[in-house]
Amino acid sequence: MSVTPDLDRRTLLRRAAAAGLLVTPAAGLLSACAGSEPTKSDDSGAAKSNDNPFGVAADSAVKVVIFNGGLGDQWAKEDEAIFKAKHPGVTVNLSSTQKIKTEEQPKMATQPSDVVMNSGADIMDISTLINEGAIEPLDDLLSAPAWDSPGTVADSLLPGTVNDGTFQNKFYVVNVAYTVWGNWYNEALFNREGWTPPKTFDDFFALAPKIKAKGMAPYVYDAVHGYYPRWALMATIWKSAGKQAVIDIDNLKENAWKADGILPALQAWEKLVKDKLLLPGKLDHTQSQQAWLDGKAAFIQVGTWLKNEMAATIPPGFEMKISDYWGLGASDKAPKDVYAGAGEGIVVPSKAPNKAAAKEFLRAVLSKAGSAKFAELTKSLASTKGSGDNVQDKALASANELMKNAGPDLVSIKFWNFYADLDKESSNLSAELMAGRLTAQQFVDKMQAAADKVAKDSSIKKQTRTA
């Protein structure tokens, strides 16, 4: 990935902006105006029906911009074909880029694209887009008939997908990828060496000397983009301190970062760094992933877009397998909860010229046919139920296995989507902790101070997480 669900993503599944690249637009920059008897569409004047619930005009055009990162863009071309089969008269102008904010944000207040996949390092800040009224609520998409399955679009989605795209009690972001995050290893290597994949940090610390004896680093990570290690840190916090502790963090509760279990979770990562168990060097996401594939490190933490992103350089006989993030052991409050959810968010700008066709295109993206193609092409689950049922791939199968054994809740974090300042600060601090320039205690103190600053700032609109 550059991403990126991502993604919390989880809001993957949604990927937060890279450290230092996020620039919050000035206030007002994104300001925007806001099946039985056939009716007329406000956008196009075309008749609405179950097959055309938004009243897309047959002679209209829709502009779709896709983020071309770890998942590529071929899946979107398949969705275009699915859309055109039902709406042959509609012109689809599909393009892809990695410069979403650079290319799309300047258009938001004038004449934006109709569909924008907002992902990657050059991402537009979602909280600013919502607060400035720059993107359209999509609750009517959820209540529309599913493209090729019974029930509504909402009925067809995997758990967490609606929640991951909901802000201020409205659904704004269609996260198309269902990402599972965790620690990846080469199963063929572990089988040859007789190594058992760790389930706890203590297991990992016991295995690490055996890995080092083989001339490998036990662990490697993206040391350039701070939101990469942040996924792992927050997953460990959730497992150790429990769901409510993270909800309190998201809600800016007083002293939330000082709850029982948070410091020990971070101290486990601090020990990993202090014990020199990381592959040296400031590698970015693809460089660290390639180092892992080259056998320079035994573990890497990342999401299920990994195989598709590195498809061209996977060595013969390398068997990619994902395992859950490690917990601390008996003290963990949520040991079986898995970090998974919807990511790779797509939005519809409020000033989009053809919002009807934009929503209809998203119906096609979330179709059974479209999601099956997505899983086949990307080796990652789509947010639509059953997307990976017919895909024969060991890496994807290991993600499915992990989900089948998951606990009652999925790990999800909201604060970095709620507040741009906390997004940037947490990303920077995560990078500093993993670089050994910050202790776990300093991380906690600095995050609490940053959260308190946001909580006390009356100019920042507060958001509430309930579950």
* Residue 211, CA atoms < 13 Å, CB-side half-sphere: 29
- pLDDT digits 0-9 by tens, 427-443: 999 999 999 999 999 99
> Does position 2 have pLDDT exceeding 50, yes or no?
no
* Per-residue pLDDT at 404: 80
Choose among 23, 424, 427: nearest CA to 223.
427
Question: From its phi and psi, is residue 168 left (phi > 0), alpha (psi between -120 and 50) or beta?
Answer: left
Residue 38 in tokens: 């056939």
* Per-residue pLDDT at 45: 56
- Spatial distance between the Cα atoms of 375 and 390, rounded to a whole number of angstroms: 9
- pLDDT digits 0-9 by tens, 223-281: 999 999 999 999 999 999 999 999 999 999 999 999 999 999 999 999 999 999 999 99
- pLDDT digits 0-9 by tens, 338-390: 999 888 999 999 999 999 999 999 999 999 999 999 999 988 889 999 888 88
Decide if 205 contacts 273 (C-beta within 8 A). Answer: no
Helices (H) and strands (E) counted in the chain, each on its own, are: 18, 12
Question: Between these two residues, 221 and 47, which has the higher pLDDT value?
Answer: 221
- Spatial distance between the Cα atoms of 243 and 235, rounded to a whole number of angstroms: 10
Instruction: State the amino acid at position 362 in one-letter form.
Output: L
- Spatial distance between the Cα atoms of 347 and 105, rounded to a whole number of angstroms: 12
- Spatial distance between the Cα atoms of 182 and 155, rounded to a whole number of angstroms: 27
Among positive and negative, which fits the CA dihedral 331, 333, 338, 341?
negative
Decide if 230 contacts 444 (C-beta within 8 A). Answer: no
- pLDDT digits 0-9 by tens, 8-63: 333 333 333 222 222 333 334 343 333 333 334 444 458 899 999 999 999 999 99
Domains, the chain, in order of start with CATH, read 61-179+342-404 (3.40.190.10), 181-340 (3.40.190.10)
Question: Between these two residues, 118 and 40, which has the higher pLDDT value?
Answer: 118
* Per-residue pLDDT at 308: 84
* Per-residue pLDDT at 215: 97
Q: How far is CA 246 from CA 278, 316, 334, 370, 460, in A?
A: 27, 41, 12, 34, 20
Mark 200-227 as b/e (b = at least 16 C-beta within 10 Å).
bbeebbebbeebeeeebbbbbbbbbbbb
* Residue 131, CA atoms < 13 Å, CB-side half-sphere: 20
Instruction: State the amino acid at position 406 in one-letter form.
Output: A
Q: List the single range of 315-324, 328-337, 392-401 with lowest mean pLDDT.
A: 392-401
**What value does the mean pLDDT of the chain take?**
89
Provide the angle, in degrees to the nearest 10, between the axes of the packed helices 262-274 and 201-213: 10
Decide if 153 contacts 141 (C-beta within 8 A). Answer: yes
